[in-house]
Chains A and B, each alone.
Chain A
Amino acid sequence: MEKLKLSLHIPAYPEQLLRLREAGMLSEAQWQAALDTLHDAPERSDWQNFIETLLLSLGSLLLLAGILFFFAYNWAELDKFAKLGLLQAGIVLTCGFSLWRGLEQLSAQVSLLGAAVLTGVLLAVFGQIYQTGADAYSLFVSWTLLILPWTLLSRFVFLWLLNLALANLGLFLYWEQAIRSEESLLALLVCVLNLSFWLLWEIFHPSRPWLRQIWLRPLLLIASLGTLALPTWAWVTSNHFDDTWQIVAVCAYALGSAFVLWYYQFQRHDLAVLAFTLAGLIATFSLFLMDNLISWDAEWNWLFMGLLVIAQAALATRWLQHKLSQWRKEGRV
């Protein structure tokens, strides 16, 4: 009885009600009444709120877009100081609005995010006007550093993500344009950068409500382990190590995956992280088999690989479903 009661707390759909009616468990009147409960049409006051919000947001968006289009029309004729001045005015206005509203308000946080984006645009226009010849990485690194104080003050997760994305991009471009060395070392550095954010999130999110978006955990772990998967797959398909750093990256990927599977199975309980980690391991193992044990001259090997993918996915799914049932019984999820 307890198990069934838990099971019925799923969203109600008309197809389920039709099945119950066809099975004779609901009378015609009950079925009609049940369908009526699915429809909770908005009240007049709900419509009023909706229309006001829509008018304000779409009206502002259309007006702002019109202004942007107008400046774009006149952009080529604008003086360089006017171009820079406009962008700086935009940054000042958005920051001023954030300050006036207070950073605990969502509108203020979004406005600060706008200021952060405009900072990048300002740097790009500056580079375009003065043609300094600097590499692209300097723009992204400067952008990351300039918006860091706002990121620290904002308590807004999307601004943090923007900063992290810019840091990743800056590091990648710096490596490609300035260092031009072993790519496995780059993968390790990117992994360390994203893992640092993951570690900070795991430490601080219980005490910070604004950090409690649970989707951040799989996102940060994918960004970390995912970068190590690339040199691993390169090793698997080439059958030799390009350099020492690739050995380190492959070992780090194996150990990292094992740690994640243990930690999020027994210490914390996060099925999404387990699922994504298993997906990466399945892909790696399949690539390994394809490249090392199977000759692609034999046509039947394609069929064999297809069956193998099915088998791995079925096993992984079975195990994950078992874990989920177990955690639900234990009240962990």
Chain B
Amino acid sequence: MIFNRKPSLAEVLTHTAPEVLNQQDGLQQVLEHELQQALNPWYLRLLIGISAWVAALLFLIFFIVLNIIDEGFQAIFAGLCLLGISLVIQYKSEQHLFWQQLALALCLAGQVLSIAGVYTTTDSMTLSAFATLGLSLSLILFYPDSLQRLLAVQICSFSLLALFLDHELPNLIHAQVALLGAGILWCWYFEPQHQRSPRGVFLYRPLGYGMSSALLWVLLFFMSLHNQRLDVEYWFISSFSLGAMLLWLEIKLLQEHQIPLQQGPGLMILLCSVLLIGLLHQTPGLLAALLLITLGFYRQHLLLLINGLLFFPVFLSVWYYQLNWTLLDKSISLMLSGLLLLLIYAVQRAWSSKQNREQNHA
């Protein structure tokens, strides 16, 4: 697998607008935030982040022991106040990493207080889930922090889960899986378009990564659940929807490289993908991981690729314990899938060798 090194800002400007490099003061002023962030390695950001979160927890305990929060409405009010404070800090202190992290921690504390307040007041999981959804969607739109947006997508996904479980409708997860899969494709396949949108450029990455993680965790959660009332049936619905998205992506990629779909390698790839989807129809997690691996390589995003690669064995392990099929049925499905992939590999290698020989003769 080949991953191209991401170009640096200096390289991009040298190739496209070299005269901009002479405007030192302007560049320094416009990009001050990014240049300062570059001074902070990941472990420094981790240290700052953890300390901000610990501080926010201590502040939260302070509010609780002061007995300011006795009833649900007080918790909602305090939570919304914390959210307001965090928004102000976020907008005012854009260039200070520590205040950004503190604002984020206060934002999360505010969300926890607000939702806990709603639940205490209404005693309804459904209303609390809807309140969580509304709050998270608002924060995605208005809170200018990538990590908060990424977390908000996870929170939205899990509040939908809570809704499904509360109403004992676990099979609605198939709709959620289809939505998340479509969202992931929309974010990553149309990345060039999003990068040209003044709003989209700040949204598509946290949403894309958020939905990618959410898809994997949601599938993992339900595949690990062993509860007769909440057992998900008809896993093939999720598998076929993810499989359809994978096929769509493959068709688009083949068309991009002008490989005909009705013959040769194009037809082989599509037919074998259909077979693979059929063989793995009981384990949508593997197809979700395949979708992420393909998208990760296509858009050269290592994190997305690694996410998919890491979850592949995880889903295999979880599927081991699922009771919908016997171990014998699972083993046959896996062995046939493995042999199919190895067969395609062998055919692909043979074709490549033949093409190389023909080129050498020519």
Q: Which residues of A contact B (CB under 8 A)?
A: 1, 4-5, 7-20, 23, 25-27, 30, 32-35, 37-42, 44, 46-56, 58-70, 72-73, 218, 271-272, 275-276, 278-279, 282, 299-300, 302-303, 305-307, 309-310, 312-314, 316-317, 320-321, 324-325
> How long is the Cα–Cα vector from A73 to B344 in the complex, in angstroms?
28
A sample of 16 more A-B contacts (CB under 8 A), given A37-B11, A42-B300, is A10-B8, A14-B195, A15-B202, A25-B23, A38-B12, A38-B195, A48-B348, A56-B345, A58-B338, A58-B341, A65-B316, A299-B62, A302-B61, A313-B51, A317-B44, A321-B44
The 8 Å CB contact of B51, one of A9, A61, A282, is A282
The 8 Å CB contact of B62, one of A10, A35, A303, A321, is A303
Interfacial chain B residues near A307, Cβ < 8 Å: 55
Decide: B52 and A313 in contact? CB cutoff 8 A: yes
Mark each residue of chain B from 203 to 224: 1 if its CB lies under 8 Å from any CB of chain A, else 0. 0000000000000000000000
> How long is the Cα–Cα vector from A33 to B320 in the complex, in angstroms?
49
Q: Which of B31-39, B75-83, B115-123 contacts A (4 or more CB under 8 A)?
A: B31-39
The 10 A-B pairs with the shortest beta carbon distances in the complex, nearest first, are A63-B338, A59-B341, A66-B334, A313-B51, A66-B335, A62-B338, A306-B58, A69-B331, A73-B327, A55-B345
Decide: A62 and B341 in contact? CB cutoff 8 A: yes
> How long is the Cα–Cα vector from A64 to B352 in the complex, in angstroms?
26
> How long is the Cα–Cα vector from A278 to B44 in the complex, in angstroms?
11
| Dominant SS among interface residues on chain B | helix
Interfacial chain B residues near A312, Cβ < 8 Å: 51
Interfacial chain B residues near A320, Cβ < 8 Å: 44, 47
Interfacial chain A residues near B312, Cβ < 8 Å: 58, 61
Q: How far is the CB of B223 from chain A (nearest CB, A)?
A: 15
Question: Counting CB contacts under 8 A, is B147 at the interface?
Answer: no
The residue of chain A having its C-beta at the shortest distance from the C-beta of B101 within the complex is A313
> How long is the Cα–Cα vector from A316 to B98 in the complex, in angstroms?
11
Question: Counting CB contacts under 8 A, is B297 at the interface?
Answer: yes
Decide: B320 and A69 in contact? CB cutoff 8 A: yes
The 8 Å CB contact of A4, one of B24, B40, B348, is B24
Decide: A42 and B195 in contact? CB cutoff 8 A: no
The residue of chain B having its C-beta at the shortest distance from the C-beta of A44 within the complex is B257
Decide: A42 and B8 in contact? CB cutoff 8 A: no
Question: Counting CB contacts under 8 A, is B95 at the interface?
Answer: no
Interfacial chain B residues near A309, Cβ < 8 Å: 51, 54-55, 58
The 8 Å CB contact of B342, one of A4, A53, A60, A282, is A60
Q: How far is the CB of B50 from chain A (nearest CB, A)?
A: 8
Q: How many of B's residues come within 8 Å of A, CB to CB?
A: 87
> How long is the Cα–Cα vector from A10 to B13 in the complex, in angstroms?
12
Question: Counting CB contacts under 8 A, is B43 at the interface?
Answer: yes
Q: Which of A17, A18, A65 has the most CB of B within 10 A?
A: A65
Given contacts A55-B342, A59-B339, A320-B44, contact A16 B31 (CB under 8 A): yes
Interface residues of B in 309-330 (CB under 8 A from A): 312-313, 316, 320, 326-328, 330
Question: Counting CB contacts under 8 A, is B141 at the interface?
Answer: no
Interfacial chain A residues near B6, Cβ < 8 Å: 11-12, 38
Decide: B62 and A302 in contact? CB cutoff 8 A: yes
Q: Which residues of B contact A (CB under 8 A)?
A: 1-2, 4, 6-13, 15-17, 20-21, 23-24, 26-28, 30-31, 34-35, 38-41, 43-44, 47-48, 50-52, 54-56, 58-59, 61-62, 65-66, 97-98, 102, 191-192, 195-196, 198, 201-202, 253, 257, 290, 293, 297-298, 300, 312-313, 316, 320, 326-328, 330-342, 344-345, 348-349, 352
Given contacts A25-B27, A38-B195, A302-B58, contact A10 B2 (CB under 8 A): no
The residue of chain A having its C-beta at the shortest distance from the C-beta of B51 within the complex is A313
The total of interchain contacts (Cβ-Cβ below 8 angstroms) comes to: 249
| Dominant SS among interface residues on chain A | helix
Interfacial chain A residues near B10, Cβ < 8 Å: 5, 8-9
Interfacial chain A residues near B195, Cβ < 8 Å: 14, 35, 38
Decide: A34 and B30 in contact? CB cutoff 8 A: no
Q: How far is the CB of B196 from chain A (nearest CB, A)?
A: 6
The residue of chain B having its C-beta at the shortest distance from the C-beta of A26 within the complex is B17
Decide: B9 and A63 in contact? CB cutoff 8 A: no
The residue of chain A having its C-beta at the shortest distance from the C-beta of B335 within the complex is A66
Interfacial chain A residues near B62, Cβ < 8 Å: 299-300, 302-303, 306
Decide: B339 and A63 in contact? CB cutoff 8 A: yes
6 A-B pairs in the complex with CB atoms less than 8 angstroms apart: A10-B9, A47-B257, A53-B1, A59-B338, A66-B337, A302-B65
> How long is the Cα–Cα vector from A58 to B48 in the complex, in angstroms?
39
Q: How far is the CB of A323 from chain B (nearest CB, A)?
A: 11
Decide: B24 and A67 in contact? CB cutoff 8 A: no
Interfacial chain A residues near B201, Cβ < 8 Å: 14-15, 18
The residue of chain B having its C-beta at the shortest distance from the C-beta of A17 within the complex is B12
> How long is the Cα–Cα vector from A13 to B192 in the complex, in angstroms?
12
The residue of chain A having its C-beta at the shortest distance from the C-beta of B346 within the complex is A55
Decide: B27 and A50 in contact? CB cutoff 8 A: no
Decide: A35 and B192 in contact? CB cutoff 8 A: yes
Interfacial chain B residues near A310, Cβ < 8 Å: 51-52, 55, 98, 102
Q: Which of A20, A46, A64, A69 has the most CB of B within 10 A?
A: A69
> How long is the Cα–Cα vector from A39 to B342 in the complex, in angstroms?
31
> How long is the Cα–Cα vector from A11 to B327 in the complex, in angstroms?
47
Given contacts A25-B26, A58-B341, A61-B338, contact A303 B59 (CB under 8 A): yes
Decide: A60 and B338 in contact? CB cutoff 8 A: yes
Decide: A52 and B348 in contact? CB cutoff 8 A: yes
Interfacial chain B residues near A59, Cβ < 8 Å: 337-342, 344-345
The 8 Å CB contact of B44, one of A35, A50, A271, is A271
> How long is the Cα–Cα vector from A10 to B26 in the complex, in angstroms?
17
